[in-house]
Amino acid sequence: MSEAKVMKLELYNAILEDFNNLTSYSRKSENMLRKKYNQLSENQGISPALFARSLLQNVYTDSTMTKKCIKDTTLIEDKDLAYQTFLAIMNDNQYGPYADTIKQSIGLEYELRLERELRLMNITFLDENVLRSRGYDKTPDFKLDVPIAVDGFIVNWVESKALFGDDENHSGYLKEQLSCYWNRFGPGLVIYWFGYLETLNSTPEVNNMFILRTSFPSKSSITQYKIDG
């Protein structure tokens, strides 16, 4: 797999403009954009599963029942609606329980990839399960036992993000996760495996609270330290 690149703002805006000019949100339209830009990381608009959910909300006034039907379409009494809802969910790679399962699987895959990279470099760490067992409610994927330096920047923790980092995603992560990691553990490293928007490099937190990369840093850019004694 080729390494993702930092995306130019002009390209990002061009993709959004093309997407907003679409007259429909079909697979054909999505494939056209993929062909034009080689990799369209995220879509916007009404997805099939989201549309099916809106239909179910008109059938069931209870939101809890709607959620149950999305997860288990056999609960829907109308057979035609149940079948169409099932197809919508299975053919939607952006929204719904099927898409969530795919995203979780991809996220785990890249966490394991990061763990393998750390072990190959003999960088010892505590994973989030160990940290949570010690009472931390918000934890990075890996807290390093001994800090490393990446291109001269001290790194105490590493976070894996198996998606494209745009302004919206990054702002959410900064507020809900990354600021907490910095407050508790100091500066760290965030890896956006599918690339990120170039303007993120100009934000106040980047290169101060943490650095951004699109892959695990090369051995030549890493300085490892030893514990005295």
Q: Which residues pair with 223 in a beta bridge?
A: 149
DSSP H or E stretch at residue 104: helix 97-120
pLDDT exceeds 60 at position 26: no
Determine which of 13-22, 34-43, 173-182, 183-192 has the lowest per-residue pLDDT on average: 34-43
- Residue 70 binned pLDDT confidence (cut-offs 50, 70, 90): confident
pLDDT exceeds 70 at position 3: no
- Residue 87 binned pLDDT confidence (cut-offs 50, 70, 90): confident
pLDDT exceeds 50 at position 88: yes
Contacts of 48 (CB under 8 A, 6+ apart): 87, 88, 89, 91, 92, 95
Per-residue pLDDT at 32: 62
Q: How big, in percent rounded to 5, are the helix, strand and coil portions of the chain?
A: 50, 15, 35
Q: Which of 205, 192, 198, 134 is nearest to 159 (CA)?
A: 192
pLDDT exceeds 50 at position 37: no
- Residue 39 binned pLDDT confidence (cut-offs 50, 70, 90): low
- Residue 38 binned pLDDT confidence (cut-offs 50, 70, 90): very low
Q: What is the mean pLDDT of residues 136-150?
A: 93
Cα 86 off chain centre by:
25
Percent of the residues in the chain that have a pLDDT greater than 70, as a whole number: 76
The domain segmentation of the chain, as residue ranges, is: 48-91, 106-224
Rg (the chain; Cα; Å): 21
Its CATH class, for the domain covering 106-224, is: alpha beta
Query: What pTM did the predictor assign?
Result: 0.68
In three-state secondary structure terms, 144 is strand
Residue-wise pLDDT for 192-210, tens only, equals 998 999 999 999 999 999 9
pLDDT exceeds 60 at position 10: yes
Instruction: Report the C-alpha gap between 85 and 80 in whole angstroms.
Output: 8
CB-based burial, 121-132: b 16+ in 10 Å, e otherwise: eebebbebeebe
Q: What is the mean pLDDT of residues 80-87?
A: 78
Paired tokens of 132: 């949570």
Q: What angle do CA 33, 98, 48 make, to 5 degrees?
A: 50
Per-residue pLDDT at 45: 44
Per-residue pLDDT at 44: 34
- Residue 214 binned pLDDT confidence (cut-offs 50, 70, 90): very high
- Residue 35 binned pLDDT confidence (cut-offs 50, 70, 90): low
